[in-house]
Structure 1
Amino acid sequence: MPGLLRAQGAWRPTQTIRIVVPAAAAGTTDIMGRLLAAFLQERLGQPAVVENRSGAGGTIGTAEVVRARPDGHTILVGNIGPQAIAYSLFRNLPYRPEQLTPVSNMIRGPNALMVHPSVPARTVPEFVQYLKEKQGRLNYATSGPGQSGHLANVWFQQLTGTQATAVHFRGAGPAMLGLIAGDVEFSVDNLTTAVEQIRGGKVRALAVTSADRNAQIPELPALRETMPELANYDVSTWFGAFLPGGAPEPVVTTLNGEIKALLELPATRQRFAEMGGVPAYGTPAEYAAFVRAETEKWGNVVRREGLQLDIG
């Protein structure tokens, strides 16, 4: 049995584990939460349930977790939005970095720049020209204010000298539905949740946001390949686990080890590859340092834009 492989004396849950997903169903955060729940339930012998707490760019669900007891029975599947970008974007954020304990990253991957099929542009330079012709009249979907798709778009517009209006949805799933329906003209969002719609022709992808092309859709260029203005553009999104601040070391160590085991499974690696992502395990210290670096990087983009929002 897999459970027998754990070290003796490790922490064990004594009740149902709540995995809070601060996003709507069907997005990458939700997929990661459900993978983790099924694995922990099998390995640790207690029920593990996913609770979707979407809204306000992931900050509502995060705020719920920081108020929970740090005993290992409440886990947050966080991401680049509420766990990095939010600290500089929102004036009235109801939590601080030290109120969360990083456990491990789980998956990372690029975003994709996608347009509705009615948009005539088929290359990034054509799309930039189209944006300039429309003079700010186009709308783009985001999975929430402060999420990577939102700020990846902001940075793209800073570098290309274009303007468009953000339309914030309550998660990647609803944002994709809005793009497919033509409620918005374009979007930048996780390749991990968009790849099936791209392959199915429901949306047209123009590029990926990472420094290099993605093995799952190698024909898509990296944005920084497409125009000199975008030469330094490099955005990868990520999704990982956090506990409430002050979680005891045995709890952190046990959950970190379980995530490592999950990410090493061939089935997990295959699923991530199909989604266009790669496993991104890290020790708690490595993950904490990574999150701090991401917070600083996106803080610079937010400050350059002069972008400040209130959580309504």
Structure 2
Amino acid sequence: MFKLTPRTTVTALALGLATSVAAAQAWPTKPITLVVPFPPGGSSDALARSLTTSLSQSLGQPVIVESKPGAGATLGADYVSKAKPDGYTLLMGAVHHTIATSVYKKLPYDFEKSFAPVTTVALVPNVLVVNSKSSATDVKGLIAQAKASPGKLTYGSNGNGTVQHLIGTQFAALAGVDILHVPYKGSAPLTTDLLGGQVDMSFDTLTPVVQHIKGGKLRALAVTTAKRSTTLPDVPTLAESGLKDFNQGTWFGVLAPAGTPKDIVARLNTEMVKIIQSPEFKKRMDEIGAEPVGDTPAQMATQIKDDTAKYAKLVKDAKVAID
């Protein structure tokens, strides 16, 4: 029977490390898939496509955007968490995933432990919008309308447990109104119904609605962040509109399955940050109302940890739970 000695153990570890380093240096040798856990047409999809066009060139391999929507973005996350940790399957994650940790009673993955953060791509303000035919021209008017018809006005979100859902519950609590939540599978179907008048309002990210706002089909009443959006500088914040200290936004970032070699994560971070900080990418972000970030894996991990704790409290206060 073969027995390991200290020398053979060290040799084996060295060989394993050498093999891992060699594999990382050779990467990538085939196409990479970036999974977007929402339907096409939303902020995550727009950011993913803006990023992968240049990333394909810098890595020398195609980076394919694949949509896997459902269950408040958790289906796509679950798929990536179970993928081989070799750098060929990535997730376009979002703040929604830090919320899902508290909202869903049973998740098949642990967002903090099942993924290796790569970088935050961008921050996107959320905006309270109504159809241009709505009689509400400001937040005060919308609140008055909601109080006059309790439980009649509806707000759409990207799904149960998403940041739009929680923004809606927080808005209702602070404004003292009863509004009905209507969950969708993503921004595209939500925006379609908002334009068609099937839902009264939404607190979606700016990206999928900005062109409709500028085109006059939707009316922006307020942004949900502490500061006004540079894309819509004339639109007040909810805090300015009377809802004190309201400050909620949405970040999007790339993650790999836990266990992905650190050299590959570092390479991904380096290449992505170069793109995110480029003038071309920043110009594209201005067009869709996003603010480019490009931080380190450690900084993104801290953001995830902090937001998980922050939204756990909001979820508890709002009594939101999904089986």
TM-score range, shorter chain: over 0.9
TM-score, normalised on structure 2? 0.90
Say whether residues 1:272 and 2:285 are aligned partners: yes
Structure 2 residue matching 1:191: 3-state secondary structure: coil
Do the aligned partners of 2:277 and 2:294 also contact (CA within 8 Å) in 1?
no
Do the aligned partners of 1:10 and 1:254 also contact (CA within 8 Å) in 2?
no
Q: Which residue of 2 aligns with 1:91?
A: 105
* Deviation readout 1:8-48 (Å, 9 max, x if unpaired): x8562121101100000010101122122222211111122
Runs of 4+ in 1 over 3 A off after TM superposition: none
Do the aligned partners of 1:11 and 1:250 also contact (CA within 8 Å) in 2?
no
Do the aligned partners of 2:51 and 2:276 also contact (CA within 8 Å) in 1?
no
Q: Which residue of 2 aligns with 1:71?
A: 86
Structure 1 residue matching 2:99: 3-state secondary structure: helix
The one-letter amino acid paired with 2:179 is A
Task: Report the count of equivalent residues.
Answer: 299
State the distance in 2 between where 1:198 and 1:177 align: 13
Say whether residues 1:183 and 2:209 are aligned partners: no
Structure 2 residue matching 1:297: 3-state secondary structure: helix
Q: Which residue of 2 aligns with 1:135?
A: 150
Q: Which structure 2 residues correspond to residues 237-248 of structure 1 after superposition, within 5 A?
A: 237-248=250-261
Q: Which residue of 1 aligns with 2:215?
A: 200
The one-letter amino acid paired with 1:214 is S
Structure 2 residue matching 1:224: 3-state secondary structure: coil
State the distance in 1 between where 2:293 and 2:312 align: 23
* Deviation readout 1:227-286 (Å, 9 max, x if unpaired): 1xx111001111100000111100110001111011111111011112222111110000
State the distance in 1 between where 2:118 and 2:231 align: 28
Q: Which structure 2 residues correspond to residues 220-239 of structure 1 after superposition, within 5 A?
A: 220-227=235-242, 230-239=243-252
State the distance in 2 between where 1:309 and 1:11 align: 43
Q: Which residue of 2 aligns with 1:3?
A: none
* Deviation readout 1:42-76 (Å, 9 max, x if unpaired): 11111221110011110010100001011100010
Q: Which residue of 1 aligns with 2:178?
A: 163
State the distance in 1 between where 2:25 and 2:239 align: 46
Structure 2 residue matching 1:232: 3-state secondary structure: coil
Q: Which residue of 2 aligns with 1:288?
A: 301
Residue identity (%)? 36
Deviation at 1:125, TM superposition (A): 1.1
State the distance in 2 between where 1:232 and 1:11 align: 50
Say whether residues 1:213 and 2:202 are aligned partners: no
Q: Which structure 2 residues correspond to residues 116-135 of structure 1 after superposition, within 5 A?
A: 116-135=131-150
The one-letter amino acid paired with 1:264 is Q
State the distance in 1 between where 2:26 and 2:55 align: 13
**Which structure would you say has the larger Rg?**
2
* Deviation readout 1:100-122 (Å, 9 max, x if unpaired): 11111000021000012232111
Deviation at 1:192, TM superposition (A): 2.1
* Deviation readout 1:269-312 (Å, 9 max, x if unpaired): 011112222111110000000111111111111000111012xx
Q: List alignment gaps of at least 5 residues for structure 2.
A: 1-23
Do the aligned partners of 1:11 and 1:251 also contact (CA within 8 Å) in 2?
no
State the distance in 2 between where 1:192 and 1:210 align: 15
Structure 2 residue matching 1:88: 3-state secondary structure: helix
State the distance in 1 between where 2:26 and 2:258 align: 17
Structure 2 residue matching 1:189: 3-state secondary structure: coil
Structure 1 residue matching 2:203: 3-state secondary structure: strand
State the distance in 1 between where 2:282 and 2:165 align: 28
State the distance in 2 between where 1:11 and 1:155 align: 49
The one-letter amino acid paired with 1:183 is Q
2:273 to 260, 274, 294: 260
State the distance in 1 between where 2:223 and 2:229 align: 7
Change in Cα spacing, 1:36 to 1:10, as seen in structure 2 (3 Å) is: farther
State the distance in 2 between where 1:306 and 1:150 align: 12
Deviation at 1:162, TM superposition (A): 1.1
Do the aligned partners of 2:50 and 2:284 also contact (CA within 8 Å) in 1?
no
Say whether residues 1:145 and 2:167 are aligned partners: no
The one-letter amino acid paired with 1:25 is P
State the distance in 2 between where 1:11 and 1:107 align: 29
Q: Which residue of 1 aligns with 2:4?
A: none
Say whether residues 1:27 and 2:72 are aligned partners: no
TM-score, normalised on structure 1? 0.93
Structure 2 residue matching 1:223: 3-state secondary structure: coil
Do the aligned partners of 1:206 and 1:221 also contact (CA within 8 Å) in 2?
yes
Structure 2 residue matching 1:226: 3-state secondary structure: coil
